[in-house]
DNA sequence: ATAATATATGAACAAGTATTCATATATTGA
DNA sequence: TCAATATATGAATACTTGTTCATATATTAT
């Protein structure tokens, strides 16, 4: 974060463009939430977990086995996914089953894929 | 990355579920590219830059002024956006104008917003 | 109650990253 | 060619984050 905005000789953008940008720009809190959400998707382990859950709900141990990571690592990441409401869970005895929270996850990942294959 | 997969007493997922997951799971390279793409969106400064460019193409200095960051910081981030083909640029004399590379950016950010306002 | 097991979590460490500062490059005009 | 200006970039620093290891919690069965 800086507090000094640089000024080049003159502003190229018209005043109404600048006003339009300021109108469209979400407020700081929303921007932070947005960035936070994308950060969650910005990790291979978490993406793998989500892809695994595409197929069906799964317990922590199965997820760990499928994506070849330790139970601890998976559990830590599930906490983050949970906190961002990308997965939900239900307990059944000693086992905790995780599932995708909603279809947003699929469509977000799908759109990302679209961009990189282009 | 770990090399030891944990094993709980028994696997809950059926074999065909596991096979289905492995079929659906993109290969390691694609997963990395995906994560990489989302990492780019996972920063407030870069999101601000993209939102600014929603309105119109803009020179580095105008962007810096609008989002209140130094020219250097903006330039560094533009390099990352450029490398991930989220923005394109054209030079006009001393000035370099940046613009959104395509409409993917808008739809990706839109979908993110949808999730967090829900 | 005790043992066994599935999951969660705190602390530590390593790796990655965003900003700043100083400076380099590129372009224009005099 | 030289000065001015817009942008780019390398190095340093502070901060964030993912994994590991050890351990805690929760649940079940004996």
Return the pLDDT at A9.
57
Cα Rg, chain A, nearest whole Å: 20
Residue A90 CB lies within 7 Å of the nucleic strand C = no
Closest CA to B18 of A115, A79, A67, A97: A67
Task: Give the integer Cα–Cα distance in Å for A27 and B44.
Answer: 11
Question: What pLDDT, in 10s, does the model give residues B54-103?
Answer: 999 999 999 999 999 999 999 999 999 999 999 999 999 999 999 999 99
Task: Give the integer Cα–Cα distance in Å for B116 and B118.
Answer: 5
Residues in reach of strand D, judged by a CB distance below 7 angstroms, are A 8-10, 39, 42-45, 69-70, 72-73, 76-77, 80, 91, 93-94; B 1-2, 59-61, 71-72, 75-76, 78-79, 89, 94-96
Coil/strand/helix, residue B51: helix
Cα Rg, chain B, nearest whole Å: 20
Chain B CB contacts of A21 below 8 Å: 51-52, 54-55, 66
pLDDT in single tens digits along all 118 residues of chain A: 333 344 565 567 777 888 889 999 999 999 999 999 999 999 999 999 999 999 999 999 999 999 999 999 999 999 999 999 999 999 999 999 999 999 999 999 999 999 998 8
Q: Determine the average pLDDT of the residues in B41-64.
A: 96
Coil/strand/helix, residue B26: coil
Task: Give the integer Cα–Cα distance in Å for A74 and A85.
Answer: 16
pTM above 0.95, yes or no: no
Chain A CB contacts of B59 below 8 Å: 8, 12-13
Return the pLDDT at B9.
58
- Asked if A32 lies within 8 A of B21 by C-beta distance, the reply is no
- Asked if A61 lies within 8 A of B6 by C-beta distance, the reply is yes
Residue A113 near residue A50, CB atoms below 8 Å: no
Q: Determine the average pLDDT of the residues in B20-25.
A: 91
Residue B91 CB lies within 7 Å of the nucleic strand C = yes
Does residue B5 surpass a pLDDT of 60?
no
Closest CA to B115 of A89, A36, A23: A36
């Amino acid at each position: 974060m800086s507090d000094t905005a640089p000024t080049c000789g003159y502003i190229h953008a018209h005043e109404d463009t600048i006003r339009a940008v300021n109108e469209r720009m979400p407020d700081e809190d929303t921007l932070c939430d947005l960035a936070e959400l994308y950060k969650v998707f910005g990790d291979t382990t978490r993406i793998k977990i989500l892809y695994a859950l595409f197929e069906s709900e799964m317990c922590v141990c199965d997820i760990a086995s499928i994506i070849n990571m330790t139970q601890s690592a998976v559990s830590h990441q599930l906490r983050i996914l949970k906190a961002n409401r990308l997965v939900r869970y239900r307990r059944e005895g000693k086992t905790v089953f995780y599932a995708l929270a909603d279809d947003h996850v699929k469509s977000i990942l799908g759109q990302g894929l679209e961009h990189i294959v282009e």
